[in-house]
Structure 1
Amino acid sequence: MNLKTKITLAFVTMLLLLLGVSAYTLYSLNRLDRTARNVLQDNLYSVELGQQMLRALDQVERQPLSDTTGMHQLNQAFVREAGNVTEPGEQAVVDQLQEQLARLQEYQGAWLHGTGGAPDVAPDLTRRIRQLTYRMIDLNTQALSRKNEAANRTATQQQRYVLALLTIALLTSLLFVLSVPEAAVGGLRQLTASIDHAANQDFTASIPIRGHDEFAAVGRSFNQMLVQLQTYRTSTLAELLAERNRVTSIVNHLDEGLLLIDQNRRIIVANPIAQSLLALPAAQLLGQPADAVAQGNDLLRTLLHHLDVPAARRQPEAPLLTIAQHGEEAYFRLSVNDVIFFNEALDKQEFVGWVLTLRNVSEFKKLDQAKSNFLATVSHELKTPLSSINFHLKLLENGRVGSLNAEQHDIVLTLKQENQRLLRLVSELIDVSRLESGNIQLNFQPSRVADIVQFAADTIQLQLRPKQLTLDLDVPATLPPVRADIEKTTWVLLNLLANAIRYSPEHEQIHIRAALTADGQQVRLSVQDHGPGIAPQYQEKIFQRFAQIPNQSGYAGGSGLGLSIAREFITSQGGQLGVSSELGTGSTFAFTLPVAPRAEA
């Protein structure tokens, strides 16, 4: 018999028992109800009629025979009693009552018609009527007692029968409750135990097959699966070992330090270069909690600090770490990548850990340093002659050394513009060299955003006129002061405005807006233009040094250093500079500055 049939039979049996007990209980209740109704209809009704007869007889005894009201009530009660004779001996009493009542009516009739021979009262006659009435009441009272006792016996018997049926139903239900779930769960226990063994790589724990129910079919299928898994495991174990050894060999021979940390921040992979940089053997790294190891290792503590930064807030440029190696400073570029795994069983992406790589960029750093030194030297060497050239061009333009004709004046003007361009380029190169060397000085002080914006707006007015552009300022006066270097911040804002003017069509507006960020800790300034916009693939590239992107405005572009320097200035002040743009709708450059502490403000 299969499990479904067992469960169905159990429920059908319990349902039949419930219906049987309910039906017998209803039968017993109906039987007791009928008995009670018969008692009320027969005996109790006769007792009530007897009480009515006694009250009417009292009235007859108190009144003279000329008063017929009491006699009328007595006759009515008697007539009803004569029609409700139900007990043995009751009919004889009713007959005697009828005889006595007839005599009493004769006395009353003779007295009323004056025929004589009738006494004024008939105490002996009324006494006999009263005795007979009491006897009739006593007969029905005794019948009530007998029937009540019989009803009680019947109720007790029916109660015993109902209790017996309930006991049988309860025991049967308990039998099913204890046996049917066990039959349903027993197979599941065996299946669960076998699955646990299989999860622990033990494919020998098969399910014993008993009977032909559903669990037996599942057990046969599961045992076949175990055999196939064991076969698959045996056939693929060698391949897996070979693949693992291949991956291990690749990891160990990487020229970069590699750390793999799982979602529980436990180190599971550390190649030899990473072990050498951390100055710890594999035994002290693999399988150990990263935070516990980092308590005694400064480098690992620095690496773990980058794991706490959300992926969306990590800087696009990987951080550069300086690590002492063989008595010399070496430079390593840190890369942190989240490992996301698609769980097919749950049909969703799951985070499983981080991959940290340390790439040795010491040679690139040396080359970059040499480039920076060269740029700084060349910039300083060029600034003096260019300044001298600019001075002499001003002399020629003012005519102090002689007048110039129109053609000569145009040549001098062109030379002056090109010389100014070279001077700006040299100044930007000097700023870049200072930023790289860390020698740039910042003068932090509480500053009103409105003052910075107004100064930049006043300074840029002359550049707005050729294209007939206008500025739209939205800077609330209630903004709190910011902690910033006024000179550097103004330079950034002027650079953004110059770019907006350069790429804006004629007769357009440039919007400058300032507002407090949602957390209330920073103020956000934005410059919005209505130019051609920037394609998404170039929106981060424009902040790189010497970056040039194609545009449709015909502008050949500057040195490609302005936005790079602007980002460095803002970052060094604790803010961020970015852009949001779509082709054909313009661009919005925005940067943030921290709010000045109240003590400083």
Structure 2
Amino acid sequence: MRQLLGEIMQLNLSAIMRKGQVASQSAKQATFWIVFSSTLCLLASLILVTNLPAHIANPIRALNHSIAQIAARNYSQRLRFDRNDEFEELANNFNKMAAKLEEYQNSNLSKIIFEKTRIEALINNIEDPIIGFDENRLIMFANQEALEVLGIGKSELVGLQAEEVALYNDLMRLLTQDLLGRPASGATLASEPLKIYQNGKENYFEKHIEPIYAQTNDHENENLIGYLFMLHNITTYKELDVAKTNFIANVSHELKTPIAAIQMGVKLLKDKKIGTLNDEQHQLIDNIGDDCKRLLLITTELLGISQVEAGKIILNLTQTHPKTLINNALQATQASANEKNIEVVLEIEENIDHLTVDVEKTTWVINNLISNGIRYSHENAKIIIRCLSHSAHIIFEVQDFGKGIDKQYIHKVFDRYFRIPGNKSQGSGLGLAISKEFIEAQGGYIEVDSELGSGAIFRFFLPKK
């Protein structure tokens, strides 16, 4: 029995030892695999940490670069991602957008080129010379008429600075003298017509320089983007004006002789030695005498106008009261005012000084201003004539309440031959120019204030002494 118990105990111990060995071996294996798995996880983590940011960031960086290219109008930019994920789908959609933009740009460019060609054709078909400058006075374009007037080819003009062309072209230097060396604050117009020899004859041109402004992106401010230079051929008007001046001078001179003869006849008829006249005959003779005086005054005024247009103003200075000048002008215009039922209001300052002026020429100026006011006033309107004393000058004003003058034409109304575009009234465009020369010849000056739709005030100043 003891022997059996010992053998059983020995077997149990052997079994326990074997199980302990197996458990130890299993623990070692488990430890190995845990360490191995941890190492693999660590390596995988390191790989992910190293490659995953670049895997995401590189496509985003490429997309950002491509968007910048599109913003710079490089619509040929494309994205290429060789991967089957959301980034590849994003790249495909981006490429479709860029293709559409490129297509639009090409179609828009062709339209712009077509419009540019059409504008160039229109400019070349304009009969007046036209030259375009950018804001830095680089010559952008010139039509054929401008090239012929300047006597140079297109390659010698377009794409060059105005200063550079003016160095070897005297006419270009003369034409651009108002443009070179200063920016234009407004449109300018030559005070005297330019005489240019072309096609074997003298041609007269009126010079215009118009600054061109364009709105900025905020649609609030306007920036200067260039200048448009134009020459208006007034040769025909000049020739007609010379012919008219000669005609007026000749007719006025020839009329004086028969008028003087009529006056002499009237004087003889009034002489009782010739015979006795009844009251009706006396009235007729007096009327004839008055008409002769008016005709003589008109011929004298016509001679004065011809002197102005010929540049030879002769002044006949006498002392007179300003009210006398105004009344003389009103007598000549009252009939026209009555036809339109226009009320003429006089506002003459009391105790105003006498003036030493050319009565005929000053009366002519007032007459012209009143006539213009009547012409551009509506029926049943009002015209105000003022005479004020100010400092060293006497001020005459004629105010109407007609349609007024657009601001862009204010500085041109005193220039010869100028007529406001769209104006249906007949005229040579010389009345205000002659008025200006009459006033300036007497040491004064003339100006105008007007707004479109609010009428105009023409005002001239004459020195008291």
- Shorter-chain TM-score range: 0.5 to 0.7
2:338 aligns with: none
Aligned-pair CA distance for 1:322: 0.6
**3-state SS of 1:512 partner:** strand
Aligned-pair CA distance for 1:564: 5.3
The answer to whether the Cα contact below 8 Å between 1:513 and 1:527 also exists between their aligned partners in 2 is yes
2:438 aligns with: 569
| Deviations 1:127-156, CA, capped at 9 Å, x for gaps | xxxxxxxxxxxxxxxxxxxxxxxxxxxxxx
Residues 1:379 and 1:189: Cα distance change in structure 2 (over 3 Å): farther
> Which residue, out of 455, 466, 482, partners 2:320?
455
Rounded to whole Å, the distance in 2 between the matches of 1:269 and 1:574 is 43
> Which residue, out of 148, 151, 157, partners 1:276?
148
The answer to whether the Cα contact below 8 Å between 1:510 and 1:527 also exists between their aligned partners in 2 is yes
The answer to whether the Cα contact below 8 Å between 2:395 and 2:462 also exists between their aligned partners in 1 is no
The answer to whether the Cα contact below 8 Å between 1:318 and 1:335 also exists between their aligned partners in 2 is no
2:76 aligns with: 204
> Which residue, out of 384, 387, 412, partners 2:285?
412
**3-state SS of 1:365 partner:** helix
1:245 aligns with: 117
Residues 1:263 and 1:313: Cα distance change in structure 2 (over 3 Å): closer
> Which residue, out of 354, 365, 378, partners 2:227?
354
Whichever residue aligns with residue 378 of structure 1, its letter is V
Residues 1:216 and 1:259: Cα distance change in structure 2 (over 3 Å): farther
2:349 aligns with: 472
Whichever residue aligns with residue 130 of structure 2, its letter is L
**3-state SS of 2:214 partner:** strand
The answer to whether the Cα contact below 8 Å between 2:394 and 2:461 also exists between their aligned partners in 1 is yes
| Deviations 1:63-95, CA, capped at 9 Å, x for gaps | xxxxxxxxxxxxxxxxxxxxxxxxxxxxxxxxx
The answer to whether the Cα contact below 8 Å between 2:63 and 2:79 also exists between their aligned partners in 1 is no
Aligned-pair CA distance for 1:430: 1.4
Whichever residue aligns with residue 390 of structure 1, its letter is Q
> Which residue, out of 359, 378, 399, partners 2:251?
378
Report which of the two has the higher share of strand.
Answer: 2
Whichever residue aligns with residue 190 of structure 1, its letter is H
The answer to whether the Cα contact below 8 Å between 1:533 and 1:581 also exists between their aligned partners in 2 is no
Deviates more, 1:187-196 or 1:344-353: 187-196
| Deviations 1:15-58, CA, capped at 9 Å, x for gaps | xxxxxxxxxxxxxxxxxxxxxxxxxxxxxxxxxxxxxxxxxxxx
Rounded to whole Å, the distance in 1 between the matches of 2:463 and 2:99 is 66
Aligned-pair CA distance for 1:377: 1.4
Aligned-pair CA distance for 1:258: 1.4
| Deviations 1:544-594, CA, capped at 9 Å, x for gaps | 9999xxxxxxxxxxx9987653222235578642345799x9975422579
Whichever residue aligns with residue 65 of structure 2, its letter is Q
Q: Does 1:290 find its partner at 2:162?
A: yes
1:102 aligns with: none
Q: Does 1:426 find its partner at 2:291?
A: no
1:333 aligns with: 206
> Which residue, out of 132, 136, 146, partners 1:264?
136
| Deviations 1:199-225, CA, capped at 9 Å, x for gaps | xxx3223578899xxx99999987655
1:440 aligns with: 313
The answer to whether the Cα contact below 8 Å between 1:456 and 1:493 also exists between their aligned partners in 2 is no
The answer to whether the Cα contact below 8 Å between 1:334 and 1:358 also exists between their aligned partners in 2 is yes
Rounded to whole Å, the distance in 2 between the matches of 1:327 and 1:209 is 73
Report how many residues are paired: 370
The answer to whether the Cα contact below 8 Å between 2:345 and 2:384 also exists between their aligned partners in 1 is no
Report which of the two has the higher share of helix.
Answer: 1
**3-state SS of 2:168 partner:** coil
Rounded to whole Å, the distance in 2 between the matches of 1:248 and 1:240 is 12
**3-state SS of 1:204 partner:** coil
| Deviations 1:406-428, CA, capped at 9 Å, x for gaps | 21222223223322232222222
**3-state SS of 1:286 partner:** coil
Rounded to whole Å, the distance in 2 between the matches of 1:546 and 1:274 is 22
The answer to whether the Cα contact below 8 Å between 1:511 and 1:528 also exists between their aligned partners in 2 is yes
* TM-score after normalising by structure 1: 0.48
1:536 aligns with: 404
Rounded to whole Å, the distance in 2 between the matches of 1:272 and 1:586 is 41
Rounded to whole Å, the distance in 2 between the matches of 1:379 and 1:400 is 33
| Deviations 1:294-348, CA, capped at 9 Å, x for gaps | 2333322232234469576745x98521102244322223333333334455454
**3-state SS of 1:288 partner:** coil
Aligned-pair CA distance for 1:379: 1.6
> Which residue, out of 388, 411, 415, partners 1:513?
388
Rounded to whole Å, the distance in 2 between the matches of 1:457 and 1:387 is 29
* TM-score after normalising by structure 2: 0.60
> Which residue, out of 571, 578, 590, partners 2:447?
578
Rounded to whole Å, the distance in 1 between the matches of 2:174 and 2:220 is 35
> Which residue, out of 230, 236, 240, partners 2:102?
230
For residues 116-265 of structure 1, the aligned pairs below 5 Å read 190=65, 193-195=68-70, 197-198=72-73, 202-206=74-78, 225-265=97-137
Residues 1:404 and 1:542: Cα distance change in structure 2 (over 3 Å): farther
**3-state SS of 1:376 partner:** helix
Q: Which runs of 5+ in 1 are unaligned?
A: 1-181, 444-450, 478-484, 517-522, 548-558, 596-600
For residues 310-325 of structure 1, the aligned pairs below 5 Å read 314=188, 320-325=193-198
Taking only the aligned residue pairs, the percentage that are identical comes to: 30
2:424 aligns with: none
The answer to whether the Cα contact below 8 Å between 1:512 and 1:527 also exists between their aligned partners in 2 is yes
**3-state SS of 2:300 partner:** helix
The answer to whether the Cα contact below 8 Å between 2:325 and 2:362 also exists between their aligned partners in 1 is no
Aligned-pair CA distance for 1:230: 1.1
The answer to whether the Cα contact below 8 Å between 2:400 and 2:457 also exists between their aligned partners in 1 is no
The answer to whether the Cα contact below 8 Å between 2:445 and 2:460 also exists between their aligned partners in 1 is yes
Rounded to whole Å, the distance in 2 between the matches of 1:513 and 1:433 is 31
CA RMSD of aligned residues (A): 5.4
**3-state SS of 1:305 partner:** coil
1:124 aligns with: none
Residues 1:438 and 1:470: Cα distance change in structure 2 (over 3 Å): closer
Q: Which runs of 5+ in 2 are unaligned?
A: 1-56, 332-343, 375-382, 419-427
The answer to whether the Cα contact below 8 Å between 2:133 and 2:139 also exists between their aligned partners in 1 is yes
1:299 aligns with: 171
Rounded to whole Å, the distance in 1 between the matches of 2:307 and 2:173 is 30
